[in-house]
Amino acid sequence: MNELNARLLDFIRRSPTALHVSANAAAELAAAGYTELDECADWQLCPGGRYFVRRNSSALIAFALPADCTRTHFQIFAAHTDSPALRVKTAWKLEDKLYLRLNAETYGGGLWGTWSDRPLSVAGRVGVRTENGVRMQLVNIDRDLLMLPSVPIHFNREANNGVKIDPQADLCPVLTMDTSLTLEQLLAEEIGCAAEDILSHELMVYCRSQGFCWGAREEFLSCPRLDDAACCFAGLAALLESGDKGRSIRMLACMDNEECGSTTRQGAVGTFLIDTLERIGEALGWSRSRLLAAQAGSYMLSADNAHAVHPAHGELYDAANRTAMNGGVVLKHAVAYSTSGESDGILRALCKKHGLPLQDFANRSNIRGGSTLANIATTHLNIRMADIGLPQLAMHASFETMGAKDLSDMVELARHYFGETLTVAAEGDYRWEA
């Protein structure tokens, strides 16, 4: 367990939801001297300044301006703050004579069978009544609160041959046997208000199992929500360590709702990223033409975890495009990804220059992979993009595994990415300059 991995596990422990990922990243940025901007106010930006802005409290974009902003462009490291989870419904109570359960629905494409028989709790935010309105407040009931008990083998002799999960019956966790208790009471106790002052809630059920390193050589790291909190953490660490290097606008974009299609105002389909680029250009006095030119010379790494080959089911992977944990950052190739021959070559040139390992992944031709935020963002941004990720096992399980060396590889790549400037000498001619 090195210091970087310990920081990651602590970050994830403190970040049970996308809202907490954004809040914890914001706290680290503020402590490092970044100024928070308000989307409801005019922006005053200074060359050399460092800033961040949040939308919906669950997505965050941070950027560092170079000293000379006249002919600069954007170098973006993007990831997403959300992970598959169970979302608590507004009408939350499921009650019978013995148990009080939370009425929940699936969020994202989770491996839901892995959520059973693990300690769970709820986190998110609540709307608290004020004298003249409502105040949104983060909440995390940081104790073992819930459980999804499995049906015993005695009552389902075919369970080991596969269990069909009914989300309404099987994914609504047990809260208590005290049927007089209310969720509002628990939330009020946690944040210190009256239960009747809670007007609304936006809550996720999350896995409380603690992360750790394991294996004969401690070569593996397992934790909840590695996809994609690990990439958010890596991009944040690299941005904070990049100092004043490079002549580009160094940007970290942590978007929300990737796991359910990105179709929100804080997701990649929304306008958060393009609005931020346009407001930066306007604050710097750029013309519309100058902003479009800056976009055309820009580059984005979309960091979202990738599949390491499974130890027991290698037949599910393309024979020539298998990736291994502890083998380096993965460059992802598929029709559904944003990686092109152009963006591939640009990234590979940077990695070759600094001796960084890079693995290639492609799905079997008869298996369709998932999408990423980049292939959505590229529909309305003229920016070259490549999809990368950390190789992992058990993607979308309640508890995932990656290589213990992988995080440092991703941070190292992102550090060099922020530390060098991509120059478009001409269409088809690209250079990395320190």
34-65 pLDDT tens trace:
999 999 999 999 999 999 999 999 999 999 99
For residues 242 and 307, membership in a common domain is answered with yes
Distance from the Cα of residue 204 to its chain's centroid: 15
For residues 392 and 290, membership in a common domain is answered with yes
The residue-averaged pLDDT of 257-273 equals 93
For residues 128 and 177, membership in a common domain is answered with yes
Q: How confident is the model at residue 244 (pLDDT cuts 50, 70, 90)?
A: confident
Q: In this model, does residue 216 exceed pLDDT 80?
A: yes
Domain end marker among 175, 207, 239: 207
- Report the alpha-carbon distance of residue 127 to residue 329 in Å, rounded: 40
For residues 140 and 64, membership in a common domain is answered with no
Domain end marker among 180, 207, 234: 207
Q: And the tokens for 338?
A: 């944003």
The residue-averaged pLDDT of 192-203 equals 97
For residues 183 and 332, membership in a common domain is answered with no
268-315 pLDDT tens trace:
999 999 999 999 999 999 999 999 999 999 999 999 999 999 999 999
365-408 pLDDT tens trace:
998 777 788 888 888 899 999 999 999 999 999 999 999 999 99
Q: How confident is the model at residue 237 (pLDDT cuts 50, 70, 90)?
A: very high
For residues 54 and 145, membership in a common domain is answered with no
Whether residue 97 lies inside any domain: the answer is: yes
- CATH for 133: 2.30.250.10
Q: Could you give the number of structural domains in the chain?
A: 2
Residue 110 burial (C-beta neighbours within 10 Å; 0-12, 13-18, 19+): buried
> Buried b vs exposed e over 292-308: b needs ≥16 C-beta within 10 Å?
ebbbebbbbbbbbbbbb
- Report the alpha-carbon distance of residue 434 to residue 415 in Å, rounded: 12
Domain end marker among 207, 237, 256: 207
Nearest to 86 by CA among 256, 203, 190, 182: 203
Q: In this model, does residue 114 exceed pLDDT 90?
A: yes
Whether residue 218 lies inside any domain: the answer is: no
Whether residue 370 lies inside any domain: the answer is: yes
- Which domain covers residue 364, as residue numbers? 3-83+224-433
